[in-house]
């Protein structure tokens, strides 16, 4: 294989992020076959020309490149290493890109099992939320063999505008943990700033105009604070998935003997929100913590 232009791409997981990401591949002219647990969630992609597969096994039988973005590490393991999994039933020479935020250890396990079958695996989690997925402006951080990364980079560039190689298998997941650690404490600050401004009697939209372009500026402040002010807490990224990510980061940091008090605080706050029924809201619903 010398290029990726005409390769059949299998896409597993068409949720908030995956649906838009698969749509970007279709826009670029790639033949795409999709699988997700609930076929209705893939209907929009099927209407746009994607083909349907009944299982990860069926994806493995048809696709030369398989991309996944599912919910939890247990879902990733099932998709790749389960009885109907892609590695279990895959063909030599197939390329695998798991874009789920998962554990570095599982990324390495999939890489090793894939290599035994002559397959190529990289872990390539993403950042940018629903906005980044819709605009093909995701940040993609990849781990695996650099040669495989370079081969697959054009496919990833159809979904993101910042595609970086981070190192050996698992390095993409470790980089995503850095990303989530930075977001966790930042989101607390964004929410506190908006709540403070409102309590002080300020117009929060005017406050945003002043602080979002200064030293306080951040992606969350520019993209998620306006949703807080509007009372729109639909998920760009689910609270339940963010809690999963924070648990992974804390587990990994413990293995390294590293204490992360900011991340621990954020996790406890999000867990309180989830317990109150907000687990399917977007991460910016942390704003509601101060209303409890």
Identify the structural domains of the chain with CATH numbers, from first to last: 9-168 (3.40.50.720), 174-291 (1.10.1040.10)
- Which are the contacts of 203, defined by CB distance < 8 A and separation ≥ 6? none
Where helices occur in the chain by DSSP H, the ranges are 18-27, 43-47, 56-62, 73-81, 86-89, 104-116, 129-134, 146-157, 171-199, 204-211, 219-223, 225-230, 239-255, 261-273
User: Residue 81: phi, psi to the nearest 5?
Assistant: -115, 0
Whole-number pLDDT of residue 4: 79
Q: What is the mean pLDDT of residues 205-232?
A: 96
Q: What is the mean pLDDT of residues 245-250?
A: 97
- Which are the contacts of 173, defined by CB distance < 8 A and separation ≥ 6? 101, 102, 103, 104, 107, 123, 125, 143, 248
b/e sequence 174-196, b meaning 16+ C-beta within 10 Å: bbbbebbbbbbebbbebbebbbe
Decide if 199 is catalytic.
Answer: no
Per-residue pLDDT band for 276 (boundaries 50, 70, 90) equals: very high
- Give, in order, the Cα–Cα distances in Å from 254 to each of 169, 257, 260: 20, 5, 9
| Residue-wise pLDDT tens digits, 73-89 | 999 999 999 999 999 99
- Closest among 113, 91, 128, 127 to 169, alpha carbons compared: 113
Whole-number pLDDT of residue 1: 44
| Residue-wise pLDDT tens digits, 174-202 | 999 999 999 999 999 999 999 999 999 99
Helix (H, G, I), strand (E, B) or coil at 217: coil
Contact of 197 with 221, CB cutoff 8 Å: no
Whole-number pLDDT of residue 283: 97
Tell me: pLDDT of 2 over 60.
no
Q: What is the mean pLDDT of residues 239-263?
A: 97
Burial class (CB within 10 angstroms; exposed 0-12, middle 13-18, buried 19+) of 162: middle
Q: What is the mean pLDDT of residues 256-273?
A: 98
User: Could you please report the per-residue DSSP string of 98-132?
Assistant: E-S---HHHHHHHHHHHHHTT-EEEE--EESHHHH
Alpha-carbon Rg for the chain, nearest whole angstrom, is 19
| Residue-wise pLDDT tens digits, 129-149 | 899 999 999 999 999 999 999
Q: What is the mean pLDDT of residues 155-167?
A: 98
Catalytic residue among 109, 134, 176, 267: 176
Whole-number pLDDT of residue 5: 76
First to last CA, the chain: 57
Contact of 71 with 101, CB cutoff 8 Å: no
What's the whole-model pTM score? 0.94
Per-residue pLDDT band for 3 (boundaries 50, 70, 90) equals: confident
| Residue-wise pLDDT tens digits, 12-56 | 999 989 999 999 999 999 999 999 999 999 999 999 999 999 999
Dist. CA 93–CA 228, nearest whole Å:
46
């Amino acid at each position: 294989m010398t290029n990726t232009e005409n390769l059949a791409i299998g896409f597993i997981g068409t949720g908030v992020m995956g649906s838009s990401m698969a749509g970007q591949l279709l826009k670029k002219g790639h033949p795409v076959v999709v699988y997700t647990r609930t076929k209705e969630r893939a209907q929009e992609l099927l209407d746009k020309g994607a083909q349907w597969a009944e299982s990860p096994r069926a994806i493995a039988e048809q696709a030369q490149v398989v991309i996944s973005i599912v919910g939890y590490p247990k879902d990733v393991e099932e998709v790749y290493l389960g009885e109907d999994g892609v590695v279990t039933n895959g063909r030599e020479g197939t390329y695998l890109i798991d874009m789920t935020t998962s554990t570095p250890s599982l990324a390495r396990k999939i890489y090793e099992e894939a290599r035994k079958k002559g397959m190529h695996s990289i872990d390539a989690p993403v950042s940018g939320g629903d906005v980044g997925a819709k605009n093909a402006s995701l940040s993609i951080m990849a781990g695996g063999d650099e040669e495989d990364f370079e081969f697959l980079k054009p496919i990833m560039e159809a979904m993101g505008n910042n595609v970086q190689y981070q190192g050996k298998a698992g390095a993409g997941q470790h980089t995503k943990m850095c990303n989530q650690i930075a977001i966790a404490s930042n989101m607390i600050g964004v929410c506190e700033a908006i709540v403070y401004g409102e309590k002080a009697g300020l117009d929060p939209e005017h406050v945003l105009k002043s602080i979002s372009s200064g030293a306080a500026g951040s992606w969350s402040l520019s993209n998620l604070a306006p949703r807080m002010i509007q009372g729109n807490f639909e998920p760009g990224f689910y609270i339940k998935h963010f809690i999963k990510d924070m648990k992974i980061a804390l587990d990994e940091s413990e293995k390294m003997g590293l204490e992360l008090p900011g991340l621990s605080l954020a996790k406890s706050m999000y867990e309180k929100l989830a317990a109150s029924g907000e687990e399917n809201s977007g991460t910016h619903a942390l704003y509601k913590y101060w209303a409890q």
